Structure 1
Amino acid sequence: MSIEGTWDLSMSTPIGKIKAVAEFRREDGVLVGTAHGTGEEVPFSEVVLDGDRLTWKQSITKPMRLNLAFAVTVDGDTLTGTSKAGRLPASKVTGERRAVPASTEN
């Protein structure tokens, strides 16, 4: 299964719905990623794809300082799961992979 690409994420949190963009790619055979969309770009750590289950961690400072742990299930071009911040309740996460634009040749 390939997770590489750009994903539009939506998280239902206690402070409202938060949208972000996650980008996953391979560097030297290792899965890495970053998120942006809340005014900062955040690298992922501990990115693991095991079958259709994807997990990663990230630290954010906006809208507040939190350490987040994501656990989602990938099904083709969609993902669903949760994001957990410490003792706070888990937040529902959904996402859709952006279509790759068709290349144009001159």
Structure 2
Amino acid sequence: MSVEGTWDLSMSTPIGRIKAVAEFRRENGALIGTARGAGEEVPLDNVALDGDRLTWKQAITKPMRLNLDFAVTIDGDTLAGISRAGRLPASKVTGERRHEPESP
């Protein structure tokens, strides 16, 4: 299962739908990544792929300071799962992998 690439994410949260972009890549054999959204870019921590299950953690400051835990299932070029922020209810997460246009 390959997760490398750029993913457009959508999260249904108590404060509304939030869009973000996550990028995953391998570096020295380890899966790493970054996320962009709400005017900030943050590193992803503890990125792990177990079969089709992808998990990671990230800290954000916008729209408020939160530590998020993600757990999603990859199905080809789509993903679906949840994000948790402490004691807050889980938020539904969906995403689609971006495909770069082929060079002529």
TM-score of Structure 1 vs Structure 2, range by shorter chain = over 0.9
- In the TM superposition, what are the counterparts of 1:37-56 in structure 2 within 5 Å? 37-56=37-56
**Deviation at residue 8 of structure 1 after TM alignment:** 0.2
Number of aligned residue pairs: give it: 104
Task: Give ranges in structure 2 of 5+ residues lacking alignment.
Answer: none
The TM-score, its normalising length taken from structure 2, stands at 0.98
Are 1:89 and 2:74 counterparts?
no
Runs of 4+ aligned residues of structure 1 deviating over 4 Å after TM superposition are none
C-alpha distance in structure 2 between counterparts of 1:40 and 1:103, whole Å: 30
The equivalent of 2:102 in structure 1 is: 102
SS at match of 1:32: strand
- In the TM superposition, what are the counterparts of 1:47-86 in structure 2 within 5 Å? 47-86=47-86
SS at match of 2:3: coil
The equivalent of 2:5 in structure 1 is: 5
Percent identity reads: 80
- Matched to 1:86, the amino acid is G
CA deviation vs aligned residue, 1:51-88 (integer Å, no higher than 9, x gap): 00000000000000000000000000000000000000
Task: Give ranges in structure 1 of 5+ residues lacking alignment.
Answer: none
